[in-house]
Amino acid sequence: MADFLEGAFVASVLAGMIRMATPILLAALGELIAERAGVLNLSVEGAMLTGALTGFLVAHGSGSLWLGTLSAVLAGAALGVFVGLLAAQLRVDQILVGLALNLLAVGGTSFAYRLAFKDVGVKNPSTVATFEPLKIPWLSEIPVVGEVLFSQHLLTYAALLLVPATYWFLYRTKSGLELRGIGDSPRAVDMRGVDIARRQVLAVTFGGAMAGLGGAFLTLAASGIFVPEMSAGRGWIAIALVMFGNWRPQWILFGALFFGLIDSVQLSLQAVGVKLAHEFLLALPYLLTIVALVLNRGRSQAPLMLGIPYHREAR
Amino acid sequence: MRSAETLLRVEGITKRFPQALANDGISFALRRGEILCLLGENGAGKSTLAEILCGACRPDAGTIHLDGTPRVFASPKDAIAVGIGMVHQHFALVPTLSAAENVAIGTRSSKTLLDIGPITRRLEELCAQYEIELDLHARISQLSVGEQQWVEILKALHGGIRLLLLDEPTAALTPQEVSKLFANLGKMRDSGLAIICITHKLDEVMDISDRVMVLRSGKVVGLVETAATSREELARLMVGRDVVLRIENRRPPPGAKLLDVTGISVLNDEGRRAVRGVSFAIRRGEILGVAGVSGNGQKELFDAMVGARPAVEGEIRLDGEDLTNRSPAYFAERGMGGIPDDRIHQGLVMDFRVDENLILGRHRHRPFAERSLLRWKMIAGFAHGLIRDYEIVPPSGASVARVLSGGNLQKVVVARELSQTPKCLIVSQPTRGLDVAATEYVHRRLLQERDRGAAILLMSEDLGEIVNLATRIAVLFRGEIVGEMAAQGASIEEIGLLMAGVRR
Amino acid sequence: MKPWSVERRQEVGPLPQILAILLALCGAFAVSAALIAVAGASVSRAAAAAWLGAFGDARAIAETLLQATPILFTGLGVTLAFRARLFNIGAEGQLIAGAMGAVWVCMLVGGGVPPAVLIPLVLLAALVCGGLWGAIPGVLKARYDANEIIVTVMLNFVIFFLLAYLLSGPWRDPASFYNQTPRLPAAARFPELIAETRLHWGFVLALIAAFLVHVFLWRTALGYELRAVGINALAARYKGIRVARVTIVTMAASGAISGLAGAAEVPGLHQRLVLDVSAGFGFTGIIVAMLGRLHPLGVIPAAILFGASVTGTSAMQVAVGVPVAINQAIQAIILIFLLVSDALVRYRIRRIGARG
């Protein structure tokens, strides 16, 4: 029990927190932009998986992790464009589109993976050499803090920087103002001459790209392998994060760290041999998501027209 | 001051929608420094024409020339670019943003960074010019309807425009605010702006316009100098026949007190008191008309009176029984009927059939259901009868509500409520968006109910309607009743002052 | 001016809707053929194998209908919920809950009880457990306005982990190598429908359920309220319908029907509860419900189609080596095409110049 309070243990848990928060933070910030434009994009899980697989396949085939990461982003973006076009141009029911694309991604990635590695056995999955954490010189030497904050992957630093970046975009730029306007009243913004469909497609594309990037983190930084359905609901948690972060980047960061912490603690407890039914710990983030949803009601700052397709001629 | 220059020339504009031919070969010209009123009843095609002129709608045929150059508007962007500004009937404002921010949206700017400063300054100049007081940094949702109207206008004026379109700009204004608006429109006209003002109110047309264009069924049926015409002539052009402008209303003396409301307060969705200590009583065979601009507590009062919203204080008694805070079903059971102001979102289930809508609320009662099973034969028969009595078109209970016109939809709501022979009827904006025929019909039915002995609470923004129908008139301002008087001989001016919050 | 314009229809009649479905299926099959080609197989051989595998003979048809059974149940459950505008994504979890309830009853009651007693008990347990698991998101939505999409997705994971725990611990069959329950009493097995096939009476039960759901929606007062709330909850509330009650009851009923799928699968068929019990039936149920236009009777052919997809792609894998995971991909593609063609069919092109 004394182990817990040792600096090394705490450091490893906190470092794990930030590392595990990375993919959901990326996906959640992307989803935030999409939802601020009024599009409820439920295909985040699918985009993550697609990014994970694409990044893995390209890295495996080309030997370049960066190329893999780039293709993961593009794959996620492609999914985003598709959702955006369906939602903003054809005005299809957004919930169904998201679900359909999720299914497509789950089935599609399993299909593609099995095709690509037809002859490889289950016991011996193909692997990829992952990104190494980027240790910031001198700062990473600081005890505890150094390991937690300054020895993370580049993608993690990028994810953390994305928080103030999205804040700046939403609240300090004209495009961000217009995006927020679209989410609350697309008609008002349309009458000012802004192309609503185009903005929405761009927003959802960004969301997909970020989810894809989050997926790339799973295969290219965190694990080095691809397992069908490996995202295990993280895309859904990202969507929930936007909700109880009340559509504000800073609160989304807080929520992502919280989930990262749970994940990290759960892993560490297993590692030091604490005897708790580990399924309970695994289920904890999902239960807590529900609890957070219930606690946060009534204070919603949701975009007013979230999920509602915009028709100019609506009478 | 009218110049001889033609600013806008419109020829042969035609637009067809699935339900109707909205604009049929419309042609007219507009000069600089002129106010043209576009007059017509609801459904005549006025809003469609405005939408075409502001770029929100593509015409099927016809041309638009601005300063001699032909123009095609693919989107509102194009219209804004050539100096056309539009003030919409339903404000096109983002409620969560401020006035300045709303104006900032869409303005051309090379900078990525948001800079509200210049916009705010320009808006302050305009406010000073038109003697308007406005908090440019408050969220739109926190402004009063009148203030929002001004933001909508300033938004249109901001970029420097040559043509201003206003769609029913006075719908939500008190008489005093209307005067102020018209004075300012006059100023704008005098400075060379061309203005098209859409309205269905004859008095306003006579007040403000230089010329009038009357639309009926999508066609131009008259284009005259205002000075050379009269209200009666315009009314005749609007409707196509002689119209009685005031309905015949012999007011029989009312009976015993039926509805007794004492000191009720009701919270709005944000938790603030929207209705504050309101008391009134209505007798059998009496209509209490409550005048007031939307947003002064009407919605919350309606909700409380039908049981859809709790009253945090006070009592509602119907026929001696305390109904306060009971369920909507209980209110209905005890004889309270309600005709809400939003028939599409509150009154009806649009994807349901007409017969399904007609039994909404009574679907568990005999004879429509027996032991939780619906009895479709009885429902169909019932619907058939109501459709015939109320002349609902199309005359089939199986039609989906969505295909009905506004007037027929309102008939369905009215039929449903009145068929229960309510003791008391709460009615809100019953003729909003209806043409003259449908309006007359609804008014007749309400008077019929009154004569039958019902007590009716009529909330309306239309002072004419209130004065025509009510036995007594009260005014609702900021959640309080600020004045009560007999309808006979009531002064519109006095009502207007009360609506604006001027206390005597 | 262009000679034509695109405008929205006021209502979409049955003919365009059927057209939409046909268009969707054609498009989906075209894409699937492309996928098969990518997998390196001959499309014609694959298609032939698939057809034979699904409908080739009585045995194949029986197997197809068997595969359709759980999907029909979940599709019906989803239809009920979606009709009330409750996006129940939790059919997976509700199926598992039903299966767990069924298994628990079997373990409790033991093998000495005749089928005439055991099977109704099993069905009841599945209904109750599925219903309770479905009621949870219903209550959270009714009382706290908690988004049911997120809650049901989260609960899917939670019950999956619960199942994993049970199968690796208290319910584990000590005699088996895998994490699964011991073989259930033979009395719990649903009687077979067609001799020498695996098809059992669960299929007939599903058909009856479809009929009952249809009657419920259009002939009962509660069904009327459900439909009203699904279209316009505000108007429903004004006219006295208790939306909270409808929400909870609908979610419970939806969960209960999906729970029956669990009963059909475990005691009815496989006789053991394994981790993979739901195998995507919940999500497939959603697609099938959409394909059936949220109409209980429309869900039947849709479910059979998807049952055929399972047996067909299985046969395809054996015959030409296409990975069976293509099945999920095809299902999703059908849904996407359906959504797109639905959207397209909502508009029509009209020639201008026609006077009227």
Model pLDDT for residues A158-184, shown as the tens digit of each residue: 999 999 999 999 999 999 999 999 999
Q: Report if residue A225 sits inside a domain.
A: yes
Please report residues of C whose CB lies closer than 8 A to that of A277.
Answer: 165, 169
Query: How many other C-beta atoms lie within 10 A of the C-beta of residue A224?
Result: 17
CB contact under 8 A, B54 and A177: no
Q: Report if residue A282 sits inside a domain.
A: yes
In angstroms, the Cα distances linking C40 to A112, A190, B286 are 12, 48, 83
pLDDT exceeds cutoff 50 at C355 = no
Q: Does C150 touch chain A (CB under 8 A)?
A: yes
Between positions 227 and 246 of C, the ones with CB within 8 A of B are 227-228, 231-232, 234-240, 242
pLDDT exceeds cutoff 90 at A114 = no
Touching C (3+ Cβ pairs <8 A), the chains are A, B
End-to-end CA distance of chain B: 39
Mean pLDDT for chain B overall: 89
pLDDT exceeds cutoff 70 at C39 = yes
- Summarised one tens digit per residue, pLDDT across range A84-108 is 999 998 888 888 888 888 888 888 8
Provide the pLDDT for residue B255: 84
| Order of all β-strands in the sheet with B21-31 | B21-31, B6-16, B61-66, B69-71
Residues forming beta bridges with residue B66, ordered by sequence position: B8, B69
pLDDT exceeds cutoff 80 at C325 = no
Regarding predicted confidence, which is higher, B145 or B301?
A: B301
Of A239, A292, A242, the residue nearest A262 (C-alpha) = A292
B105, B111, B405: best to mutate for the A interface, most A CBs within 10 A: B105
Amino acid at B105: I
In this prediction, residue C49 has a pLDDT band, given cuts at 50, 70 and 90, of confident
* Residue ranges per structural domain of chain B: 6-239, 247-335+422-504, 344-421
- Summarised one tens digit per residue, pLDDT across range C54-66 is 888 888 899 999 9
Provide the pLDDT for residue C78: 97
Inter-chain Cβ pairs, chain A and chain C, closer than 8 A? 127
Mean pLDDT of A237-260: 90
Residues in chain B: 504
B54, B84, B94: best to mutate for the A interface, most A CBs within 10 A: B94
In this prediction, residue A208 has a pLDDT band, given cuts at 50, 70 and 90, of very high
Q: Report if residue A309 sits inside a domain.
A: no
Please report residues of B whose CB lies closer than 8 A to that of C8.
Answer: 18
Q: Which two tokens stand for residue A299?
A: 């204070």
Q: What is the ipTM of this complex?
A: 0.87
Q: Give Rg (Cα) of chain B.
A: 24
Mean pLDDT for chain C overall: 87
Mean pLDDT of B472-489: 89
* B6-239 fold: Rossmann fold (3.40.50)
Phi first, then psi: give them for residue B214, nearest 5 degrees: -105, 130
| Three-state secondary structure string covering B162-204 | CEEEEECCCCCCCHHHHHHHHHHHHHHHHCCCEEEEEECCHHH
Residues forming beta bridges with residue B212, ordered by sequence position: B37, B224
Of A15, A101, A65, A36, the residue nearest A220 (C-alpha) = A65
For tokens 């307060």, name the residue: B265
In terms of Cβ atoms closer than 10 Å to its own Cβ (0-12, 13-18, 19+), residue B143 is buried
CB contact under 8 A, B361 and C222: no
Q: Report if residue A2 sits inside a domain.
A: no
Please report residues of B whose CB lies closer than 8 A to that of A311.
Answer: none
CB contact under 8 A, C240 and B332: yes
pLDDT exceeds cutoff 70 at A315 = no
In this prediction, residue A277 has a pLDDT band, given cuts at 50, 70 and 90, of low
Question: Which of B231-235, B315-319, C264-268 is most confident?
Answer: B315-319
Regarding predicted confidence, which is higher, B282 or C352?
A: B282
Helix A234-244, helix A278-295: angle, nearest 10: 30
B247-335+422-504: CATH number: 3.40.50.300
For A114, nearest residue in chain C (alpha carbons) = C323
pLDDT exceeds cutoff 80 at B333 = yes
Which domain covers residue A225, as residue numbers? 12-118+136-295
Between positions 2 and 31 of B, the ones with CB within 8 A of C are 16-19, 21
List the single range of A44-53, B88-97, B443-452, C34-43 with lowest mean pLDDT. C34-43
Provide the pLDDT for residue B137: 92
Q: Give Rg (Cα) of chain A.
A: 20
Mean pLDDT of A264-278: 74
List the single range of A24-28, A146-150, B300-304, C159-163 with lowest mean pLDDT. A146-150
Provide the pLDDT for residue C113: 84
List the single range of A62-66, B133-137, C239-243, C347-351 with lowest mean pLDDT. C347-351
Q: Does A290 touch chain C (CB under 8 A)?
A: yes
Mean pLDDT of B74-101: 92
Please report residues of A whose CB lies closer than 8 A to that of C87.
Answer: 95
Mean pLDDT for chain A overall: 87
Q: Report if residue A66 sits inside a domain.
A: yes
Mean pLDDT of B86-102: 92
Which one of C154, C164, C332 has the shortest CB-CB distance to A289? C154
In terms of Cβ atoms closer than 10 Å to its own Cβ (0-12, 13-18, 19+), residue B167 is buried
- Total number of domains in chain A: 1
CB contact under 8 A, C238 and B21: no
Mean pLDDT of B351-357: 95
In terms of Cβ atoms closer than 10 Å to its own Cβ (0-12, 13-18, 19+), residue C148 is buried
Mean pLDDT of A132-155: 78
Residues in chain A: 315
Provide the pLDDT for residue C2: 53
Residue B280 per-residue DSSP state: E
In terms of Cβ atoms closer than 10 Å to its own Cβ (0-12, 13-18, 19+), residue A287 is middle
Which one of A111, A236, A293 has the shortest CB-CB distance to C326? A111
pLDDT exceeds cutoff 60 at B243 = no
Residues in chain C: 356
- Summarised one tens digit per residue, pLDDT across range B453-473 is 999 999 998 888 898 899 999
pLDDT exceeds cutoff 60 at A190 = yes
pLDDT exceeds cutoff 60 at C1 = no
Contact of C294 with C82, CB cutoff 8 Å: yes
Q: Provide, rounded to the nearest whole percent, the portion of chain C with pLDDT above 90.
A: 44
Q: Report if residue A143 sits inside a domain.
A: yes
Provide the pLDDT for residue C205: 94
Q: Report if residue A211 sits inside a domain.
A: yes
Q: Where are the beta strands (DSSP E) in B438-479?
A: 455-460, 472-477
pLDDT exceeds cutoff 60 at A27 = yes
Buried b (16+ CB within 10 A) or exposed e, C27-37: bbeebbeebbe
Peptide bond before residue B59 is cis, with ω within 30 degrees of 0:
no
Regarding predicted confidence, which is higher, A19 or A143?
A: A19
CATH 1.10.510 applies to domain C40-322: no
In this prediction, residue C5 has a pLDDT band, given cuts at 50, 70 and 90, of low
Provide the pLDDT for residue C353: 46
